[in-house]
């Protein structure tokens, strides 16, 4: 398919508009009809980003309040020495839940949720490219999160700290199910975060306003792109870590048990390889918000746009070189600590660039002291202080002194509250007029800010001292006379001030937030970006062509012209929901994407997925299995309606641009999503191979351990041959799926069927080879590592099996042919990945021990 060239008029904003006015009668009504939200009970099946985004933000704020209440209980307990307000065990659950809920159920979901709402609006897209995926991610998080939080009421909440270090969390020291709630509950909420990240990457790259090339992309979109890529790279480490620890707890595979060749430090590596980037994962979206709000409040474009983008990208990279600074006290070689110390200080440079860019923007304009501005000033102050103590703890010798003390608690709250909570509140005060009929109260807002800012500092500033004079973290009480009494009391008073600020904010929301569809409060701040265009459920009436980063400032009358339908796609050409897919670099229109509307499928799939994991936690294996099958069924039911094919000939969207309503191959949005998913899988696998090599490193002379036989080379060779043969058959099937004649009989289903047998055989041969050597997964970490690699591979092969059978079913149902082949392409990509990973796995498992000769 040829990419249509942009018409010349695009370079000249004053030239004619793509579409003439007045628009034909009934066009707007036809556009509104498919975008209407369902009524009554079915309202919860809505998938519009405007609804799901708001539910998502609301749920995240609910968890913020809940986890905050847990913090208040802890502060009451610590207000005086030798207090018995809560028991030791409950206190352990409280601090574990506070950290876990704030990080996993508030911070990451909140910034992801905000972007579900904001990104499409900011890029003038009708919706995100996979609206049902956002709905699925939201509901899985909503149900799973609430059940997870509920465990605190039954004494079942995890109590091993938010980073769940083994051996404390291994079966020996935590035999009860508390730890399993963390591993399974949080494990699958991370999957929901990854689903959101895939959505964001494809959304930023493929659905933008016409002409919104990379140099005109809002900084927020850049931030969310880097954020999502970091999730894709970082989250697999924790998913793998939770899998390994759960396998250790459930099946006694000793990954972290030192007596049998495991190493608890492996967990720390996996956890912090996710855990440190996580801090930036929640910080970067917040900086993206700040970079949008500051220019509006100062009424001048952001100073140093390119430098800010550089800072975002550099932070994205450098933040992956910091994880060991959480492990400075574990006795690693000092040289290793040096590398991480260097990267930890280096990452301050890009953060500094951003801070200076904001200050310069404020200085070059005239900053209005609104509530969002106040929160941003608070952010700059608090975050900078947190950054400075960050550079202090980046120095290994200082860290050894401050480690596990309240100094670290103070540092991390300055960074997280300063770096994420304040910008988020600024963002809420700033963007509420887009979603609500009324803006929030400026008068109340000042009080909210004042209470939160003072409360935050009164709570955490003294903690620096409490820590430096020796108070350790995570103690449920302390004796009189340590000199900690007054400081702790001050911190408790501060915590309640902070809470009062949040309570006032909730009151402000209840009083002023009124959901708007076409009657929002409007551009109250005179902002320059596209989310302030007039919009409804269908987003903007027409999709504008932009020529700058602040189109509303530089293209006078843009709002009116967009609303009149003068720009692209002012109606619907297929009668259903549509989005305009644009090229990733220059944002040239490529095709019209037919996107799905409301449906029960994502909701039910999410509920059953949550049920599957939660029932597994309490070892109800059979009901869990039923829910798993139902979840899979719902996903297939959901997918069956996708891949609609070219239901009409190419359509005119205005300005002489004629676009197809269906595209396949690398231009297709789901192709992109599949590639991102492959990166996720690749990272899970990479972390697993890292774990394998790590365990080799800590087991000199025992890899494999005495008495373990490596299978004869003929077995892996046979397995590799089967993988290659199956891929070859899929490639042949792909070739067959070409040509003009859509109805010509072809042997595609037979080829896929045989290829399925081959790929299944490949995994079975490998499993059999290890089985017949009587390798035990629980005797030694070697066996555990080998079986872990095989288990992941078998999971992929089973997934391929489902996808292959689904593809055959599509063919038999007449929903797959030479033109309508996206389903096949996705299966093919996944297949190639599965085979590729299988080959590398064979190479490592069978080749590495031979290479090192047991050394």
Partner 1 sequence: MSGTRTLQVLLTLGGMLAWAVQFTVVYGATSTLCARGWADATLFGLGVVPFTILTTTLAALAAAAILLVVCVRAERQSRDRPASATDRFLSHAGMLINGLSLVAILWNGVPAFILPACA
With H, G, I as helix, E, B as strand and everything else as coil, classify residue 821.
coil
Task: By CB under 8 A, tell whether 338 contacts partner 1.
Answer: yes
CA–CA separation, 795 vs 802, rounded Å? Answer: 11
Distances 35 to 28, 120, 222, 446 between C-alpha atoms, Å:
11, 15, 28, 37
Binding partner 1 (rule: CB under 8 A), the pick from 28, 310, 395, 718 is 310
Q: How far is the CB of 517 from partner 1 (least distance, A)?
A: 35
Per CB under 8 A, 22 contacts partner 1: no
Q: Determine if 317 is a binding residue for partner 1 (CB under 8 A).
A: yes
Q: Does position 262 bind partner 1 by CB under 8 A? A: no
Residues 498 to 557: which contact partner 1 by CB under 8 A? Answer: none
- Measured from the CB atom, the residue of 317 and 721 that comes closer to partner 1 is 317
- CA separation for the pair 776, 786 (Å, rounded): 10
Q: With CB under 8 A, what is the number of residues at the site for partner 1? A: 36
Task: Indicate whether 335 belongs to the interface with partner 1 (CB under 8 A).
Answer: yes
Rule CB under 8 A: choose which of 215, 486, 641, 712 binds partner 1. Answer: 215
Whole-number Å distance between alpha carbons of 779 and 94:
36
Q: Which is nearer to partner 1, 314 or 724 (CB)?
A: 314
Of 177 and 586, the one with the shorter C-beta distance to partner 1 is 586
The CA-atom distances, in angstroms, between 610 and each of 198, 368, 605 are 20, 46, 9
Is residue 309 close enough to count as binding partner 1 by CB under 8 A? yes
Residue whose C-alpha is closest to residue 551's, from 530, 533, 535, 522: 530
Nearer to partner 1, 477 or 583 (CB): 583
Q: Does 697 bind partner 1 (CB under 8 A)?
A: yes
d(CA 819, CA 647): 11
Is residue 707 helix, strand or coil?
coil
Kindly tell me which of 334 and 619 has the beta carbon lying closer to partner 1.
334
The reply to whether 333 sits near partner 1 by the rule CB under 8 A is yes
Closest separation in Å from C-beta 837 to partner 1: 20
In the set 483, 656, 700, 739, which binds partner 1 (CB under 8 A)? 700
Shortest spacing between CB 276 and partner 1, in angstroms: 13
Q: Please report how the helices 422-435 and 108-122 are oriented relative to each other, as an axis angle in degrees rounded to 10.
A: 40
Q: Which stretch binds partner 1 (CB under 8 A): 22-30, 112-120, 306-314, 788-796?
A: 306-314
Exposure string over 669-678, b if 16+ CB within 10 A, otherwise e = bbbbbbebbb
With CB under 8 A as the contact rule, the residue among 200, 282, 284, 318 that binds partner 1 is 318
CB 464 within 8 A of CB 410: yes
| Tokens matching residue 483 | 């000199």
Which residues touch 362 (CB under 8 Å, ≥6 apart)? Answer: 294, 297, 298
Query: Using the rule CB under 8 A, is 754 a contact of partner 1?
Result: no
Does residue 216 interact with partner 1 by CB under 8 A?
Answer: yes
Q: How far is the CB of 311 from partner 1 (least distance, A)?
A: 9
Residue whose CB is less far from partner 1, 438 or 588: 588
The 10 Å Cβ neighbour count of residue 719 is: 26
163 versus 672: smaller Cβ distance to partner 1: 672
DSSP string, 126-163: SS-S-HHHHHHHHHHHHHHHHHHHHGGGGT-S--STTT
307, 639, 702, 718: which one contacts partner 1 (CB under 8 A)? 307
Which residue blocks in 698-821 are alpha helix, DSSP H? 714-736, 748-771, 781-812
Residue 68 interacting with partner 1 (CB under 8 A):
no
Q: Is residue 329 within 8 Å of residue 403, measured between CB atoms?
A: yes
Site string for partner 1, 340-379 (x = CB under 8 A): -xxx-xx--xx-----------------------------
Using rule CB under 8 A, residue 313 touches partner 1: yes
Query: HSE of 460 in the Cβ direction (CA atoms, 13 Å)?
Result: 25
211: left (phi > 0), else alpha (psi -120 to 50), else beta? left
Part of the chain binding partner 1 (CB under 8 A), chosen from 244-252, 307-315, 449-457, 481-489 = 307-315
Q: Which of residues 640-669 bind partner 1 (CB under 8 A)?
A: 666
- By CB under 8 A, is residue 264 in contact with partner 1? no
d(CA 819, CA 743): 11
Q: Indicate which single residue of 72, 314, 626, 725 sits in contact with partner 1 (rule: CB under 8 A).
A: 314
Pick 297 or 343: Cβ nearer partner 1: 343
Pick the closer one to partner 1 by CB: 192 or 291. 291
- Residue number with CB closer to partner 1 (291 or 537): 291
The only residue of 72, 214, 805, 839 in contact with partner 1, by rule CB under 8 A: 214
The backbone torsions φ and ψ at residue 543, rounded to the nearest 5 degrees and listed phi first, read -95, 115
- Torsion on CA atoms 701, 712, 683, 788, rounded to nearest 10: -70
- Cα–Cα dist 301/186, whole Å: 40
Q: Pattern of binders to partner 1 over 575-594, x per CB under 8 A?
A: ---------xxx--------
- Of the candidates 566, 590, 565, 571, the one whose C-alpha atom is nearest the C-alpha of residue 580 is 590
Q: Tell me which H or E stretch contains 68.
A: helix 49-78
Contact footprint for partner 1 (CB under 8 A): 213-216, 306-307, 309-310, 313-314, 317-318, 320-321, 332-336, 338-339, 341-343, 345-346, 349-350, 584-586, 666, 697-698, 700, 855
């Amino acid at each position: 398919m040829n990419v249509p060239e942009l018409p010349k008029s695009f370079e000249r904003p004053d030239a004619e508009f793509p579409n003439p006015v007045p628009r034909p009668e009934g066009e707007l009504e036809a556009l509104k009809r498919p975008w209407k939200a369902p009524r009554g009970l079915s309202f919860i099946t809505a998938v519009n980003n405007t609804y799901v985004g708001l539910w998502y933000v609301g749920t995240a704020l609910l968890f913020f309040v809940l986890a905050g209440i847990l913090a208040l209980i802890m502060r009451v307990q610590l207000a005086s020495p030798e207090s018995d307000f809560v028991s030791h065990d409950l206190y352990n659950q409280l601090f574990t839940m506070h950290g876990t809920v704030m990080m996993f159920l508030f911070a990451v979901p909140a910034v992801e949720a905000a972007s579900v709402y904001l990104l499409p609006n900011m890029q003038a897209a009708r919706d995100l490219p996979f609206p049902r995926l956002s709905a699925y991610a939201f509901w899985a998080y909503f149900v799973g999160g609430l059940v997870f939080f509920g465990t605190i009421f039954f004494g079942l909440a995890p109590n091993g700290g938010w980073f769940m270090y083994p051996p404390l969390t291994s079966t020996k020291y935590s035999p009860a199910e508390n730890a399993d709630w963390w591993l399974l509950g949080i494990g699958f909420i991370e999957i929901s975060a990854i689903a959101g990240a895939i959505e964001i990457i494809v959304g930023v790259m493929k659905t933008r306003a016409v002409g919104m090339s990379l140099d005109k992309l809002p900084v927020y979109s850049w931030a969310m792109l880097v954020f999502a890529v970091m999730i894709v790279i970082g989250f697999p480490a924790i998913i793998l870590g939770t899998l390994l620890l759960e396998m250790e707890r459930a099946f006694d595979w000793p990954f972290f048990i030192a007596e049998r060749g495991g190493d608890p430090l492996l967990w720390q590596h996996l956890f912090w390889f996710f855990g440190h980037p996580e801090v930036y994962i929640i910080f970067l979206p917040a900086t993206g918000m700040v970079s949008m709000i500051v220019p509006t409040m100062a009424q001048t474009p952001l100073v140093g746009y390119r430098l800010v983008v550089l800072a975002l990208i550099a932070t994205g990279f450098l933040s992956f070189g910091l994880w060991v600074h959480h492990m400075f006290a574990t006795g690693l070689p000092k040289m290793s600590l040096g590398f991480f110390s260097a990267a930890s200080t280096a990452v301050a440079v890009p953060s500094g660039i951003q801070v200076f860019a904001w200050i310069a923007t404020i200085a070059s304009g005239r900053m209005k002291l609104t509530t969002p501005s106040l929160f941003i000033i608070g952010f700059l102050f608090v975050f900078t202080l947190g950054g400075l103590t960050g550079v202090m703890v980046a120095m290994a010798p200082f860290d050894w002194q401050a480690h596990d003390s309240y100094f670290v608690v103070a540092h991390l709250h300055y960074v997280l509250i300063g770096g994420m909570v304040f910008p988020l509140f600024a963002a809420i005060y700033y963007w509420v007029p887009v979603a609500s009929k009324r803006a929030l109260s400026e008068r109340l807002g000042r009080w909210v800010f004042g209470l939160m800012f003072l409360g935050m500092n009164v709570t955490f500033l003294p903690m620096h001292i409490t820590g430096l004079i020796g108070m350790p973290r995570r103690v449920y009480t302390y004796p009189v006379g340590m000199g900690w009494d007054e400081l702790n009391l001050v911190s408790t008073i501060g915590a309640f001030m902070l809470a009062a600020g949040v309570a006032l904010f909730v009151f402000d929301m209840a009083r002023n937030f009124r959901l708007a569809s076409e009657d929002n409060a409007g551009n109250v701040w005179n902002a320059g970006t596209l989310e302030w265009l007039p919009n409804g459920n269908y987003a903007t009436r027409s999709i504008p062509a932009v020529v700058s980063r602040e189109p509303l400032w530089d293209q006078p009358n843009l709002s009116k012209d967009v609303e009149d339908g003068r720009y692209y796609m002012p109606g619907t050409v297929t009668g259903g929901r549509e989005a305009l897919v644009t090229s990733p670099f220059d944002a040239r229109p490529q095709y019209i994407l037919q996107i799905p509307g409301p449906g029960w499928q994502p909701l039910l799939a999410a509920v059953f997925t949550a049920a599957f994991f939660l029932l597994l936690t309490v070892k109800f294996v059979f009901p869990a299995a039923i829910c798993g099958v139902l979840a899979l069924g719902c996903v297939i039911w959901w997918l069956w309606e996708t891949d609609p094919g070219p239901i009409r000939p190419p359509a005119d969207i205005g300005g002489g641009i004629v676009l197809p309503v269906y595209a396949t191959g690398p231009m297709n949005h789901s192709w992109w999503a599949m590639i991102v998913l492959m990166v996720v899988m690749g990272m899970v696998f990479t972390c697993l191979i890292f774990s394998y090599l790590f365990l080799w490193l800590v087991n000199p002379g025992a890899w494999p351990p005495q008495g373990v036989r490596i299978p004869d080379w003929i077995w892996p060779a046979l397995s590799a041959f089967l993988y290659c043969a199956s891929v070859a058959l899929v490639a042949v099937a792909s070739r067959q799926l070409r040509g003009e004649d859509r109805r010509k009989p072809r042997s595609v289903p037979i080829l896929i069927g045989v290829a399925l047998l081959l790929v299944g055989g490949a995994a079975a041969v490998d499993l059999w080879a290890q089985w017949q050597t009587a390798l035990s997964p629980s005797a030694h970490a070697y066996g555990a590592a080998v079986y872990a690699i095989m288990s992941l591979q078998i999971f992929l092969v089973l997934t391929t099996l489902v996808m292959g059978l689904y593809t055959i079913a599509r063919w038999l149902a007449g929903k797959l042919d030479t033109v309508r082949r996206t389903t096949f392409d996705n299966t093919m990509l996944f297949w190639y990945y599965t085979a590729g990973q299988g080959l590398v796995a064979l190479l490592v498992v069978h080749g590495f021990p031979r290479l090192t000769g047991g050394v």
